[in-house]
Amino acid sequence: MSDEPSDTKSAPVGAFVASLIAGLWMLVSSGMMTYGYHMMDGGMLWSGPGAASPWVWRHEMMSGVGPGFLWPWAGMISGVATMAAAITMYFQPSRSAAMGVIVLIASGLDIFAGAGGYLAALLGIVGGVLAILWKA
């Protein structure tokens, strides 16, 4: 074991892990939402694995509830942006503050859209704040 200081800068590992998990979560959950929506008789029907009975949707019991067709795409865009920012902040620690802002913006979009999951957005906010507060 050497006591010499290393020349390599450390990376914001906590911010990286939180942001990467949040981005993956946003991407997967919004992808499952996209898979589950099908057009039937001009309305949305959730028929993916583990879905509620089609009776609930077909008889207008849940009319107007749930995201529209474009909401899952907002979650996917947020997930990809969050993962890209997380990877960038890990390999280029000097840009971690800017990448933290991107993670915060993407997580805010995800909260607004509600497409990638609120817990994923909360984890993304934590990762973005950690990235902004990280000092080399």
The reply to whether 50 falls in a domain is no
The reply to whether 56 falls in a domain is no
Write the pLDDT tens digit of every residue in 107-129: 998 888 776 778 898 999 999 99
The reply to whether 120 falls in a domain is yes
The reply to whether 83 falls in a domain is yes
The reply to whether 59 falls in a domain is no
The reply to whether 7 falls in a domain is no
Count the domains in the chain: 1
Q: Whole-angstrom Cα distance, residue 4 to residue 109?
A: 44
The reply to whether 53 falls in a domain is no
Write the pLDDT tens digit of every residue in 15-56: 999 999 999 998 888 777 665 554 443 444 545 555 554 444
- Domain extent, residue 94, equals 13-31+67-133
**pTM score:** 0.70
Residue 76 clears pLDDT 80, i.e. is over it: yes
The reply to whether 124 falls in a domain is yes
